[in-house]
Structure 1
Amino acid sequence: MTVEIYGIPNCDTVKKARKWLDAQGIDYTFHDFKKEGADPAKVEAWIAAKGRDTVVNRRGTTFRKLSDDDKALAEDSHTAVTLLVQHPSMIKRPVVEHAGGILIGFKEDEWSQSLS
């Protein structure tokens, strides 16, 4: 099974998710948003599959520091893609692409069902 995990290496949730994948013996490729950025086509696909509200992390400091005008951009799926590409730390982490679909955020029970 090919698994690709997207996130930021120092994010606690990403660390927990990677540790879980390692413990399960699941091979994965890690895409570092800080070094590699976010691909607009990928972000658009994630929003199409999981919904804008799931993909946009409104609780993080990056979102909270935005101007009200920029926050309003997150309310439209098309402008949200541009905003998330500019600020990939606003993408809820981790994002996992696997043969069965996409997972966003780390929920061990959901991951066990989807990746086992």
Structure 2
Amino acid sequence: MSTTLFLQYPKCGTCQKAAKWLKENNVNVNSRDITKENPTKEELTGWIKKSGLPIAKFFNTSGKIYKENNLKKKVKSASEDELLDILASNGMVVKRPLIITDNFVLIGFKEEEWAEKLK
């Protein structure tokens, strides 16, 4: 398998747990701070397609920006192109952590799912 990308926000508790799990399980990843290097629209398009999940799953629904901008409403009505623009505009809008491989995308840290896919 080629390089696994780990998108995370270092101050996020869940991301810290995920990073610790990756280290303990000897999973080599390229780590990327989602706040310093936003995913691009092109990256997001590919990841969403690869994940097989609806675009709404890529939004950080518990985040401040999501709530302040009433994105819940927008996610239901905006076009996919508009939603991709929103996601690409600020890494804090994107659900994290994310694991991106050649074959799959994992959103959020679910230990059982990560163990099944990454070990």
The equivalences for 1:32-71 within 5 A come to: 32-48=33-49, 49=51, 50-66=53-69, 68=70
Whether the aligned pair in 2 keeps the contact of 1:46 and 1:55 (CA below 8 Å) is: no
Q: Which amino acid aligns with 2:48?
A: I
For the Cα contact (< 8 Å) 1:74–1:83, is it kept in 2? Answer: no
Question: Aligned letter for 2:27?
Answer: I
Deviation of the 1:4 alpha carbon: 0.7
Superposition pairs of residues 1-116 of structure 1, within 5 angstroms: 1=1, 2-48=3-49, 49=51, 50-66=53-69, 68=70, 72-75=73-76, 76-116=79-119
> Unpaired segments of 5 or more residues in structure 2?
none
Cα distance in 1 for partners of 2:84, 2:102 equals 23
Percent identity over paired residues: 27
User: Which 4+ runs in 1 deviate beyond 6 A?
Assistant: none
What is the root-mean-square deviation in Å for CA atoms of aligned residues?
1.6
The Cα shift of 1:31 comes to 1.2
CA distance in 1, matches of 2:43, 2:72: 21
Post-superposition Cα deviations, 1:51-97, rounded to whole Å, max 9, x if no partner, equal 1121112221110011x4x6544333211110011122111101101
What TM-score results when the alignment is normalised by the length of structure 1?
A: 0.87
Partner Cα separation in structure 2 for residue 20 and residue 86 of structure 1: 29
Measured in 1, the distance between the counterparts of 2:107 and 2:93 equals 13
Aligned length: 114
